[in-house]
Structure 1
Amino acid sequence: MEIKWHGHSCFEIGEGTKIVIDPHDGRSLGIKAPVVKADVVLITHHHFDHDAVRVVKGNFKVIDSPGEYEMGDVHIKGIPAYHDEQYGKKRGQITMYKIENEGIKLLHVGDLGHVLTSEQLDEIGKIDILFTPVGGVYTVDAKKAYENVKLLKPKVVIPMHYKVSGMTLGIQPLDPFISYFPEDKVEHVGNSINFTKEDLPRETQVWVFIR
């Protein structure tokens, strides 16, 4: 499997069926726009920095709501959650996506704004890789993101939706989240990584992508 980061919450996943999650247009955030082609585009919610489908190339299907979907060799499960701690009263509902491909289970939680409930944890089940926002303000902050890590117990955590150089969005940087982990559990993997299920660590690691 290959995972490539396109900035903010946008990731490209897979080598057969190409999945792109939460594309942005770059310009609205002060960062580079994604250059990406997809078979499937997953939208966690319709805010400007997560649903710029127009930047994605290819003949793709858009999924933007809860449910179960079979796309080629990939199983996708959309699970409802909220953009805030008030059950969506401030910022609305989002859809988290659990993706199963090549024996690997990934969970992208979009702009999750709260600690996961027991019902959501039951619906998610076991996962190998967690994509979580850590920048606070509009999502969970570093502390609440770490609480979700402890609940989900993934093998790999991929932080996203945090302040980077040039970004105009007023959110927090990565460092507060990284501080919860020992140095030997943090890996800088570059812009993309190729791996198999057997390559995944036994104990939770943080994979930091660079763009």
Structure 2
Amino acid sequence: MKRRQFIQSAAAGLATAGLGAIGKVSPGLAQGAESLSVRWLGHSCFLFSGTGLRILVNPFRPIGCTAGYRAPQVEADLVLISSRLLDEGVVDGLPGNPRVLFEPGVFEFRGLQLQGIRTPHDDLGGRRFGTNVVWRWRQGGVNVLHLGGAAAPITTEQQILMGRPDVAMVPIGNGPKVFTPEEAQAAIQR
């Protein structure tokens, strides 16, 4: 199996496995209660659907490290962007007219509170690829944390802002813009 196919299969399995555990880690979820659906669309792009909202995180253009993936063409109410590079954070061509957030800060959208937390996008303190925005919100009764393209160790201040998520999307890949497997494990432990 080619590396990209393996990663796609593993990511799909991970998303499914993570969702299967939600009911166990979120005691408030019961039959007929709020729910959250997560769909992986390639690279670090996910569509979160629940409580009447569709949140698309990190749409991309299929060039560079995203070559070989199809550009996401899904409707969303809100788009969250972790970084804006040539292949990342691309909203051109998305259907509808979603609201787009791409800067750190606290935001409200249709009663949902979201927080963007500034982190370096590379392991050189952001000197190579700039800023990454980690997104945190609660949707469908689930605390979600999407680390975007984090590559630097998580600081104590960032740890406090990130809280204790039920589901965390953690970038792993041994590249300059993402964690190595060991760094990802340390980030999760933190």
Per the normalisation by structure 2, the TM-score is 0.75
- Distance in 1, matches of 2:184 and 2:136, equals 17
Residue 37 (str. 1) matches residue 75 (str. 2): yes
1:78 Cα shift?
Answer: 0.4
Q: What percent of counterpart residues are identical? A: 29
Runs of 4+ in 1 over 6 A off after TM superposition: none
Question: Which of 50, 54, 58 is residue 88 of structure 2 equivalent to?
Answer: 50
Question: Which of 47, 60, 64 is residue 12 of structure 1 equivalent to?
Answer: 47
- Distance in 2, matches of 1:83 and 1:64, equals 14
Question: Which of 12, 22, 29 is residue 58 of structure 2 equivalent to?
Answer: 22
Name the amino acid aligned to 1:91. F
Matches for 1:36-115 after TM superposition, within 5 Å: 36-115=74-153
Question: Which of 155, 168, 178 is residue 139 of structure 1 equivalent to?
Answer: 178
- Distance in 2, matches of 1:124 and 1:51, equals 21
Residue 128 (str. 1) matches residue 166 (str. 2): yes
- Distance in 1, matches of 2:87 and 2:184, equals 20
Name the amino acid aligned to 2:57. I
**Which of the pair is proportionally richer in strand?**
1
- Distance in 2, matches of 1:89 and 1:80, equals 14
**Which of the pair is proportionally richer in helix?**
2
SS in 1 for 2:170: strand
Post-superposition Cα deviations, 1:108-129, rounded to whole Å, max 9, x if no partner, equal 1111011211111011111111
Do 1:24 and 1:34's aligned partners in 2 also have CA atoms closer than 8 Å? yes
Name the amino acid aligned to 1:141. T
1:27 Cα shift?
Answer: 5.1
1:143 Cα shift?
Answer: 1.0
Post-superposition Cα deviations, 1:154-200, rounded to whole Å, max 9, x if no partner, equal xxxxxxxxxxxxxxxxxxxxxxxxxxxxxxxxxxxxxxxxxxxxxxx
- Distance in 1, matches of 2:174 and 2:87, equals 15
Residue 119 (str. 1) matches residue 157 (str. 2): yes
1:70 Cα shift?
Answer: 1.3
SS in 2 for 1:18: strand
Post-superposition Cα deviations, 1:90-142, rounded to whole Å, max 9, x if no partner, equal 22111110011122111111110112111110111111111011012121111
The answer for unaligned runs of 5 or more in structure 2 is: 1-35
Do 2:63 and 2:87's aligned partners in 1 also have CA atoms closer than 8 Å? no
- Distance in 1, matches of 2:60 and 2:132, equals 16
Aligned residues: 151
- The 1:122–1:90 alpha-carbon spacing in structure 2 relative to 1, beyond 3 Å, is same
Do 1:83 and 1:93's aligned partners in 2 also have CA atoms closer than 8 Å? yes
Q: Which residue of 2 aligns with 1:173?
A: none
